[in-house]
Structure 1
């Protein structure tokens, strides 16, 4: 049986996705010498060694979230927020637009101005995937 200290010459490690574009989040922390089995631990060559001092720093370094890897160093990391798809934006704007039209015109039994009808139809077409050439939502009427 191979000694854990031979497989993992550093005691503490941070795991991350080596194939991901950096910065990338830390996906796990390992105290390999304190483990009874390292069967599920990635090879040491796929991990980033962490000093004992950094390992012990559980207030600003060794944290369950908010840490990433960049160029061989553990850094503060906040995952990027993916953009909201245009169809989702259109569905949200359609709810607001319909509410506005109802409050301003429908509830009073006033005719809806054509500019509002055109706007709501444009949003509906985007939301339903019928309009795919736009990259931004139309501006709401004044």
Structure 2
């Protein structure tokens, strides 16, 4: 049986998802010297050792969030804002376009200009996944 000091030669560690693209957030902090069981601790090889001074620094180093890993180093980290999927953007634009068309034409019993019909159809195709080649939304008619 391997003893704790052999398995975890350092006392303090930071954990992260080793399969995620970096930078990636720190997802756990481990003080292996104070734990009664190390069964739930990932292998030391997949952790980043932390110095005692850094471990003790809970104001700017060992934080519950805002720390990440890049190339084996712990860094300041902010979760990136996930990009809004183009289909979601199209759905949102479609709501606004429908309101605009109704307010300017439908409510007045006026015919919808062809430019607006084309725009609505293009948005619908993106929103419903029929258009898979567009990378941006079409420009709204003036």
TM-score (norm. length: structure 1): 0.90
User: Which deviates the most, 16-25 or 68-77?
Assistant: 16-25
Tell me by how many angstroms 1:100 deviates: 1.2
Give the alignment of 1:25-104 within 5 angstroms.
25-104=25-104
For structure 1, the 5+ residue unaligned runs are none
Count, aligned residues:
142
Query: 1:107 and 1:56 mapped to 2: Cα distance?
Result: 66
TM-score (norm. length: structure 2): 0.90
Query: 1:52 and 1:109 mapped to 2: Cα distance?
Result: 74
Tell me by how many angstroms 1:2 deviates: 4.1
The equivalent of 1:111 in structure 2 is 111
The equivalent of 1:135 in structure 2 is 135
Query: 1:42 and 1:134 mapped to 2: Cα distance?
Result: 43
The equivalent of 1:7 in structure 2 is 7
Query: 1:81 and 1:36 mapped to 2: Cα distance?
Result: 38
Structure 1 moving runs of 4+ over 4 Å:
none
Structure 1 residues 131 and 45, CA, compared in 2 at 3 Å: closer, same or farther?
A: closer
Query: 1:127 and 1:37 mapped to 2: Cα distance?
Result: 51
Query: 1:116 and 1:2 mapped to 2: Cα distance?
Result: 71
**Secondary structure, counterpart of 1:101 in structure 2:** helix
Tell me by how many angstroms 1:44 deviates: 1.4
Give deviations 1:99-136, integer Å, cap 9, x for gaps: 11122222233322221111111111111122222221
